[in-house]
């Protein structure tokens, strides 16, 4: 049984994982940031300090498990907010040391990469995965553990960031993505013709121009932010943003011929995105795997799931430092040892 903690941003989470199955997970989204319209790093770190022990006790209680059964302790080591990472890492390292068990450092985005397997069986390799969160938008070909090829990424804003910025323009609370998903379902995606960016041959994305186009549309016609017209505006924004994602993914599937198509990260919860990916997978007769909604946003279950894989491969190191910035591709170089 692996005990894992996640504290890279504003989700405080702990989980118990054994033989690929999630025994218990407990996640709290910090509320201290609500009044600021974004995550305040200093407050995030302090809040993790207050919440972490509670989460760990909670998963032990849910699973009816004893701490003596824990064979390794894992924590998100990066990328993320340095103060927040330190809280989770120091907690996990101290616990591992006191139990005389290994500490497993986990890369947050690598955990998202494999999160489509949680609650599922092992995915066929290679698989193509879209990592979409508030901080990242990447298209990655996964050929195996520590064998990742980033084939495309955003040149400016992350997709979740674009949702949140448009939400802010409309006066919606942060983060706005989940609420915009629901509002878009009532709107007409063709009401406003927003540009689909990056129709070029690369697998890269760009969303800042779209956000600017939305702000100009609102400036020219403020009635677009009224409750009656807002669903049309959001549906049109979403149509443009997801058309660009779909275009690139469709091409990537044709060229790279992956055996499965996946998405992970907070925006992978989006219903329209899931539908579009299902269509691509269906047309190409390949497996579609997206994590259950509860594992799309940041959580410790994905940290524990990957930690178990890493432990089996002998990839653990008690003295590994936190890495607030940590490119995913650097992991390929540490395929056998830290």
Question: Can you name the residues that pair with 142 across neighbouring β-strands?
Answer: 127, 148
Instruction: Please calculate the CA angle 141-147-152 and round it to the nearest 5 degrees.
Output: 35
Residues in the chain: 338
Closest CA to 9 of 41, 53, 35, 46: 41
Q: How far is the CB of 298 from ligand KG4 (least distance, A)?
A: 5
Mask of contacts with ligand KG4, 4-43, x by CB under 6 A? -----x----------------------------------
297 binds, among Zn ion, ligand KG4, none (CB under 5 to 8 A by kind): ligand KG4
Torsion sign across C-alpha atoms 83, 296, 290, 92: positive
If the CB atoms of residues 89 and 299 are measured against ligand KG4, the closer one turns out to be: 299
Question: From the list Zn ion, ligand KG4, none, which binds 232 (C-beta under 5 to 8 Å, kind-based)?
Answer: none
Q: Please work out, in degrees rounded to the nearest 5, the angle formed at the alpha carbon of residue 221 by the alpha carbons of 220 and 222.
A: 115
Coil, strand, or helix at residue 124?
A: coil
CB of 23 to ligand KG4, least distance (A): 22
* Residue 263 φ/ψ region, left for φ over 0, alpha for ψ in the -120 to 50 degree band, beta for the rest: beta
User: Looking at beta carbons only, is 137 or 236 nearer to Zn ion?
Assistant: 137
Burial class of residue 330 in the structure, from the number of CB atoms within 10 Å of its CB (0-12 exposed, 13-18 middle, 19+ buried):
exposed
Q: Which residue among 114, 127, 148, 163 contacts ligand KG4 (CB under 6 A)?
A: 163
175 binds, among ligand KG4, Zn ion, none (CB under 5 to 8 A by kind): ligand KG4
| Residue least distant from ligand KG4 (Cβ) | 266
Nearer to ligand KG4, 1 or 270 (CB): 270
- Rounded to an integer, what distance in angstroms lies between the CA atom of residue 93 and that of residue 160? 32
- Of 45, 134, 187, 231, the one binding ligand KG4 (CB under 6 A) is 134
Contacted entry of Zn ion, ligand KG4, none for residue 135, CB cut-off 5 to 8 Å set by kind:
ligand KG4
CA–CA distances in Å: residue 198 to residues 36, 103, 190, 203, 315: 32, 42, 19, 9, 38
Q: Which of 30, 133, 236, 244 binds ligand KG4 (CB under 6 A)?
A: 133
Residues 6+ apart with CB under 8 A from 310: 104, 106, 145, 316
Q: Which is nearer to ligand KG4, 45 or 266 (CB)?
A: 266
Q: Quote the least distance from Cβ 131 to ligand KG4, whole Å.
A: 9
State the nearest-atom distance from the C-beta of 89 to Zn ion, in Å: 17
C-alpha–C-alpha distance, residues 92 and 72, integer Å: 9
Contacts for 33 with CB less than 8 Å, ≥ 6 apart: 10, 39, 40, 43, 44, 174
Closer Cβ to ligand KG4, 260 or 297, answer by number:
297
In whole angstroms, how close is the CB of 296 to ligand KG4 at the nearest point? 7
Angle at 108 between CA 77 and CA 137, to 5 degrees: 140
| Residues at the interface with Zn ion (CB under 5 A) | 133, 298
**Chain residues 178-237 in contact with ligand KG4, contact rule CB under 6 A:** 178, 181
Choose, by CB under 6 A, the member of 269, 277, 301, 306 that binds ligand KG4: 269
Contact flag: residue 177 with ligand KG4 (CB under 6 A): yes
Q: How far is the CB of 69 from ligand KG4 (least distance, A)?
A: 29
CA distances from 118 to 15, 18, 28, 60, 104 (A): 12, 11, 19, 19, 18
Residues interacting with ligand KG4, by CB under 6 A? 9, 133-135, 160, 163-164, 175-178, 181, 265-267, 269-270, 297-298
């Amino acid at each position: 049984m692996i005990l894992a903690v996640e504290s890279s941003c504003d989700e405080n989470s702990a989980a118990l994982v054994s033989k690929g199955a999630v025994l218990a997970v407990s996640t709290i989204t910090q509320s201290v940031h609500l009044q600021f319209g974004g995550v305040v790093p200093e407050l995030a770190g302090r809040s993790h300090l207050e919440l972490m022990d509670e989460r760990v006790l909670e998963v032990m209680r849910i699973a009816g498990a004893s701490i003596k059964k824990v064979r390794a302790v894992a924590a998100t080591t990066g990328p993320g907010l340095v103060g927040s990472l330190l809280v989770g890492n120091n907690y996990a390292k101290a616990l591992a040391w006191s139990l005389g068990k290994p500490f497993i450092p986990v890369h947050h985005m690598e955990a998202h990469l494999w999160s489509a397997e949680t609650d599922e069986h092992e995915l066929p390799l290679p698989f193509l995965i879209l990592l979409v969160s508030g901080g990242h938008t990447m298209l990655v070909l996964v050929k195996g553990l520590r064998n990742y090829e980033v084939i495309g990424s955003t040149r400016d804003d992350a997709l979740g960031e674009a949702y949140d910025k448009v939400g802010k323009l409309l006066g919606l609370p942060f983060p706005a993505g989940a609420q915009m998903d629901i509002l878009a379902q009532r709107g007409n995606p063709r009401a406003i013709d927003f540009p689909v960016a990056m129709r070029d041959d690369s697998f890269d994305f760009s969303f800042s121009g779209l956000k600017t186009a939305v702000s100009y549309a609102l400036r020219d016609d403020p009635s677009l932010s009224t409750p009656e017209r807002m669903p049309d505006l959001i549906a049109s924004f979403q149509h443009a943003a997801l058309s660009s994602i779909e275009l690139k993914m469709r091409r990537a599937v044709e060229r790279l011929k992956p055996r499965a198509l996946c998405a992970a990260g907070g925006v992978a919860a989006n219903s329209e995105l899931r539908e579009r990916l299902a269509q691509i997978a269906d047309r190409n007769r390949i497996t579609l795997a997206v994590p259950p909604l509860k594992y799309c946003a940041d959580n410790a279950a994905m940290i524990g799931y990957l930690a178990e894989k890493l432990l089996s491969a002998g990839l653990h190191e008690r003295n590994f430092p936190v890495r607030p910035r940590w490119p995913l591709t650097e992991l390929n170089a540490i395929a056998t040892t830290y």
